A and B are shown apart, each in its own frame.
Chain A
Amino acid sequence: MSFWFWHGLRKGIQSTRYPARAENTPGVSPGRPVNTDFSTVEEAQLAAEICPTDAIVAHGKSTYVNPGKCVHCQLCLHSLQSPMNWETGYEWTRLPADGKEALPFPASFAKSMHIMVVDAGDCGACLHEVKQLNNPLYNMHRLGFFLTATPRTADLLLVVGPVSENMRGPLLKTWEAMPTTRKVMAVGGCAIAGGVFGKSFMCACGVSAVLPVDFEVPGNPPPPLAILHGLLVVAGRKSLNSPRPISEGRP
């Protein structure tokens, strides 16, 4: 069995340099639509109409995107004559729209933050992207982020999924079992605004309907680096890019 050790060493260091340096390998992020100024009002209107989740709001010739609602269907990119602008970053973490002022953890958490992940009706993509943070390419342990199996020792509750009715109880139980210094991060469009599932008798339309959310990572799913950025923000090691979301896409 010792050859595994050797094979492991031979691969060398594979981890990304992020956050020390930006990661630009193609494919780490699918990007996302951003506010676009069109040349005509009609084009803007078309863009707003094509969006299945009303994430795009037209205002004159300009369109505004609510990233929390975008389900990344790519219609506004591929099915429009004049497509929306497309941004390729991944530092998307934002504060929730409800106006609550959430502060990151104090400095003592910066090098060691324990994360409890709860799947609350997620489609598997967001959870899978969180799982990718464990693989050597992202390796979140090097940054002092650890997964924990019990909420008792968890600092951050990372929730994916729109909160299905059957998971509402377990999710609340987990939250209640955590120390009161806890913070909650909603990861993915579904966890922020219900995504394609919306509000129904079985879906709570986002985590904020159940728990107070402190941070949001939009994306459908947000790529691992976006989640990593979220963790860094929570730990107080990165700043938010846009401190407030543009509410409902309108300035």
Chain B
Amino acid sequence: MATHSSPIAGGNIAGLADLTGMIVERFGDQVAQLRAGANFILTLSVGQPSALPTLAQFLFWEHGCLFGGITAEEHSNHWQIHYTFLLPGSGWIDVEFSMALETKTLPSIVTEVHAADWHEREIEDLFGIHFENHPRLGDFVLHDQIWHEGIDPMRKTFSAERPQLERKVDLEWQPLLVVGDPGSFAMPVGPVYEGGIGESLHFLLETVGEDVIRAAPRLFYNYRAVEKIAEGRSIPDALLLAERFAATSAFAHSLAFCLAAERIAAVEAPPRAAALRVLLAELERLRHHAGAIAAICESTALAVAAAQASIIEEQLLRASCVFTDHRYLFGLNTPGGLNRDFELEQCKTLLATVDKAESDLRILERRLRLSSSFLDRLEDVGVVIGESARDLNLVGPIGRASAQHCDLRRACSYSGYGRLAFDVPCETEGDGYARLRILFAEATQSARLIHQVADTLEGGPVRVAYEVNHAGAALGWTEAPRGAALHWLRVDERGIVERYRAITPSFNNWLGFHVAAENFAFQDFPIILATFGLSATECDR
């Protein structure tokens, strides 16, 4: 242990202090620097790459940290790789590793922390950094059918405006199939969804007929390189991207982005803005969950229930529109607060709709509980046991249905959630029905939160002046409707984005989808998909 640049300070980061001691004891010189910054972040600089897997193993398995993600940054003369972990109840741990630009290999931590799989694959695809011992690299974001090897679009040398090359589709390209039973084959599903309206994603259902042995998604059809095109934009322009890459959780993502931006400038949103942000975030969650419930009902062909859930969803969309002038809560967040204020009357109207929606959902849940044929199709379908959920670090309602009770609103409070009373529902079965129950329970909690916020709303401004006049980087996090969303932002002294990284709950959870989709009957596939309720576009960015 070389230096302590600043003593660990802060209210609820006692856990981080303990951890620091342990790391000093365990890793000694391997951890070059240990800094505790504000905002619940403990930064560990690692000197030796070989220490990374062991450190990751220590944090994730021995110390019970959750895995946040990996962020690669290209600086003018070196790489900086951030491994983000969360110590629930305490704060974030940012394991930082720097290496010269010419070095393009790193030890993979995936054998220790499986949840890091896709993060490493993504970095390999977009930055060209090779991870030693990773069992399956390549063909991830850039589909091998149309992209050559050696294009590293996230490198600074690659221009995002580069004209599109005339690309030839490699017709001989063969997908990697895992099932080798005699007579096995794969049923292709997508990318143009065959069941009506759906997002672009592709599955190969590997089977020998009748039962599907394995189904792994092939994603990134919607990849719009948001992280790349955000670079070089001003913060408000980049915020537009953060808000609009995944509209069904637009508010949560724009909030995470704004929180990061505010942390860089050491600005805090005024209390009224923070409270309203909670209200809007919970409104979004409530609407999202109503939609997810509708999708589950639809996947089981329970038409009336699906119709009623989607009516609830549409009523909430309309209420959002009346309240904020936008059905998907676009254009509200801004670094430093909210773009606009709301009147008391407006809040009251909103509350009435929320109450109606909540009671309608309760009625719907009661009726669904009585529909045995509906429950039969959900129970024991798409099971993710707790160990797998922990192993793959599943987040959000899916994780909570498999006994992973991490909720960032609790585990690392933001925007004043710490002062509010709410429950984090948790189930242990990990099947489709457990996930449905979580959705209902969370919707109730959201309505409760909206009430609390509206009842205790203080007056005051909703926005403080925001300006960045120094370079810096910060992490912003929210519990989006689908789970933990982490936005990492680095700006230069003019406030121009140098690196923007969005780690989304869908990205995390798609990784675990294949665990639920093993050895199932073909007709259960839409149900497993619906109970996961993941968004491809949120994952792809």
Chain A contacts to B: CB under 8 angstroms = 1, 3-5, 7-8, 11, 14, 25-31, 52, 71-75, 77-79, 116-132, 134-137, 147-151, 161-162, 164-167, 169-171, 173-174, 195-204, 220-221, 223
Q: Are A124 and B370 in contact (CB under 8 A)?
A: no
Contact (A199, B328) CB under 8 Å given A118-B192, A119-B222, A128-B247:
no
Q: Are A132 and B317 in contact (CB under 8 A)?
A: yes
Contact (A27, B192) CB under 8 Å given A75-B339, A119-B200:
no
Closest to A53 in B: B240
- Residues on B with C-beta less than 8 A from A169 are 145-146, 169
Docked CA distance A29–B325 (Å): 8
Q: Are B240 and A73 in contact (CB under 8 A)?
A: yes
Q: Are A73 and B331 in contact (CB under 8 A)?
A: yes
Closest to B247 in A: A125
B296 to A: closest C-beta gap in Å: 14
Q: Are B237 and A124 in contact (CB under 8 A)?
A: no
Is B224's CB within 8 Å of the partner chain A? yes
Interface positions, chain B 327-363, Cβ under 8 Å from A, are 327-328, 330-332, 339-340
User: Which 5 residue pairs of A and B lie closest in terms of their CB atoms, listed nearest first?
Assistant: A27-B318, A125-B247, A135-B310, A74-B331, A27-B321
Partner of A136 from the list B198, B310, B325, B331 (CB cut-off 8 Å) is: B310
- Residues on B with C-beta less than 8 A from A150 are 194
Contact (A73, B222) CB under 8 Å given A127-B199, A135-B307, A169-B146:
no
Q: Are A78 and B229 in contact (CB under 8 A)?
A: no
Docked CA distance A73–B538 (Å): 20
Docked CA distance A113–B241 (Å): 35
- Residues on B with C-beta less than 8 A from A135 are 294, 307, 310-311, 313-314
Q: Are A170 and B244 in contact (CB under 8 A)?
A: no
Is B322's CB within 8 Å of the partner chain A? yes
Q: Are A74 and B304 in contact (CB under 8 A)?
A: no
Q: Are A4 and B325 in contact (CB under 8 A)?
A: no
Q: Are A73 and B330 in contact (CB under 8 A)?
A: yes
Partner of A174 from the list B164, B192, B222, B317 (CB cut-off 8 Å) is: B192
- Residues on A with C-beta less than 8 A from B194 are 149-150
- Residues on A with C-beta less than 8 A from B214 are none
- Residues on A with C-beta less than 8 A from B195 are 149
- Residues on B with C-beta less than 8 A from A128 are 247-248, 291, 328
Docked CA distance A153–B290 (Å): 32
CB-defined interface of B211-244 with A at 8 Å, one 1/0 digit per residue?
Answer: 0000000001111111011000000110011001
Task: Report the count of interface residues on B (CB-CB < 8 A).
Answer: 78
Is B425's CB within 8 Å of the partner chain A? no
Partner of A119 from the list B161, B198, B318 (CB cut-off 8 Å) is: B198
Contact sample, A vs B, 21 pairs, CB 8 Å cutoff: A52-B240, A71-B330, A74-B332, A74-B340, A123-B250, A124-B538, A125-B328, A128-B328, A132-B310, A134-B197, A135-B307, A137-B314, A165-B223, A167-B191, A196-B240, A196-B241, A201-B159, A221-B247, A221-B327, A221-B328, A223-B327
Docked CA distance A135–B538 (Å): 23
Docked CA distance A165–B194 (Å): 20
Beyond the given A121-B537, A149-B194, could you list 14 further A-B residue pairs with CB under 8 A, ordered by the A residue number?
Answer: A52-B237, A72-B326, A117-B196, A124-B199, A132-B313, A135-B314, A147-B196, A164-B221, A170-B191, A200-B160, A200-B161, A202-B229, A203-B229, A204-B164
B433 to A: closest C-beta gap in Å: 17
Chain B contacts to A: CB under 8 angstroms = 143, 145-146, 153, 158-164, 169, 191-200, 220-226, 228-229, 236-237, 240-241, 244-248, 250, 291, 294, 302-305, 307-308, 310-311, 313-314, 317-322, 325-328, 330-332, 339-340, 367, 370-374, 535, 537-538, 540
Q: Are B321 and A197 in contact (CB under 8 A)?
A: no
Q: Are B322 and A164 in contact (CB under 8 A)?
A: no
The interface centre, meaning the residue of B311, B320, B374 with most chain A CB atoms within 10 A of its CB, is B311
Q: Are B161 and A74 in contact (CB under 8 A)?
A: no
B144 to A: closest C-beta gap in Å: 11
Docked CA distance A123–B224 (Å): 10
Q: Are A123 and B247 in contact (CB under 8 A)?
A: yes
Docked CA distance A79–B340 (Å): 8
Closest to A73 in B: B331
Closest to A169 in B: B169
Closest to A120 in B: B200
- Residues on B with C-beta less than 8 A from A79 are 339
- Residues on A with C-beta less than 8 A from B224 are 121, 162, 164, 197, 200, 202-203
Docked CA distance A126–B321 (Å): 15
B441 to A: closest C-beta gap in Å: 22
Docked CA distance A73–B254 (Å): 12
Docked CA distance A130–B160 (Å): 30
B473 to A: closest C-beta gap in Å: 23
- Residues on B with C-beta less than 8 A from A204 are 164
B93 to A: closest C-beta gap in Å: 32
- Residues on B with C-beta less than 8 A from A29 are 321
Docked CA distance A124–B161 (Å): 24
